[in-house]
Structure formats: C-alpha cells, structure tokens
Amino acid sequence: MPSETFRSLVKPLERVRLIIWLAFLGAILMYVGVAYSLFAQSASGAEPLLLNPLTTPFVILSLLAAALAPYVPRLPDSRLRQLINQPPEAIARDPRTGIVDEDRLARIRTLSSDEQRLLALVRALFVVFVVRLAFNESIALYGLVLAFTSKSFVEVLPFAIVSFVLNLMVPSPLDSALKRAESLGLHLADIPTQPR
C-alpha cells in the first residue's frame, strides 16, 4: 500500500495528466466538429475517399504513427536508471525554476526508497505520455487535412475514430512507471497502479 505522502505527491501529476488527456481527446472531437460544420452540406458532391491522391500517403503516415507511438518516445533503460538513482533534492527541484521546493523535499524524504524511485519514474515518463498522445492525435489531423482537401466531412471520421481509440488506450505515467520498474528489475511490490 502506498503511503499518503506518495499519493499526495502523485495526485497533482495525475490531475494534470487527466487534463492533458481530456484536452487531446477534446481536440479530436473538435476536428470532427470543424469538418462537420464546414463540409456536412457539401458531402453529397464530394469525391470518394479513395480518389483523393492524399488518402494513401495519409493512411501510411497514420499507420506509422500508430505503430511508432508506443516506441518512439521511450526512454532508454540506462537513462531511467540514472533518473531512478537521483537524490531526493533532484526529485524535489521545480523543472521550471530549478529551485528545490523545501516542503516537497521534506515529504519526499519521508518516502521509502522504492516510492522515491517510482516518483522519479512517474515524472520522467510524463513527457513520454504527452508525446504518445501527440503521435496518436496526428492521425486525426491527417483526416482533417483530407476533409479540407476533398471538402467532405466523411474523410475525417475513420482517422478521428482510430486516433480517439488509441488515445483512450494510452496508459497513465504511473502505470507505465510500474511496468518499466519491473523491466528494470526494481521491486515495488506493494505499490498499486491506481492512486486516481
């Protein structure tokens, strides 16, 4: 069972994660809404999806984005080991200002070493989470471009659906941190994946 201190340190990250995740999902829905508002009336005279010369390249780019999204932003194990072995001062440092937050540092020092390592992993994998969402969202953008070039609302739908589903399947940074900790051989036995 994680300590209350660990939960209090992870909770703000999880809240920001949820806001960013919802923003990416909302953007995909917005792309569909924009395409619908601009091209729903002209859908009857639009050229079929397969006749658009951009369809094949965008489908290929979408497949590449979907296939590479889990792997491209991945941090190497050697870098993760460096991050895990940081002193508590480095974990408590505000990345924007470079100043150590003394209150946060005091709370981090009360954590077990396993929880300190997991907290360092969660922070490191947060960027990976956002990059993966962006890769998946790019698929919906390809569909939006197709909708604009063909002036047809229908063009965006398959791309948006795939993008939306892929973003629904992106694991949280805490879940990813636990999986990566296992692969690094760390024993974080009593820490569950759900502080949400």
Residue 100 falls inside a structural domain = no
Would residue 163 count as lying in a domain?
yes
Query: pTM value?
Result: 0.80
**In this structure, is residue 62 part of a structural domain?**
yes
> Is residue 68, in this structure, part of any structural domain at all?
yes
Q: How buried is 43 (Cβ within 10 angstroms: 0-12 exposed, 13-18 middle, 19+ buried)? A: middle
106 found inside a domain: no
In a domain, 27, yes or no: yes
Determine, yes or no, domain membership for 103.
no
Judge whether 104 lies within some domain: no
The per-residue DSSP string of 29-93 comes to: HHHHHHHHHHHSTTGGGSPPGGGSTTHHHHHHHHHHHHHHTTTTTPPPHHHHHHHHT--HHHHHB
Q: What is the pLDDT along the chain (196 residues), one digit of tens a residue?
A: 578 888 888 888 889 999 999 999 999 999 999 999 998 776 554 455 567 788 889 999 999 999 988 887 777 778 878 888 889 998 888 888 889 889 989 999 998 888 888 888 888 888 888 999 999 999 999 999 999 998 888 889 999 999 999 999 988 777 777 777 777 766 655 555 444 4
Closest CA to 61 of 158, 138, 152, 170: 138
Domain that holds residue 133: 4-43+50-73+125-183
Phi, psi of 76 (to 5 degrees): -65, 150
Count of structural domains within the chain: 1
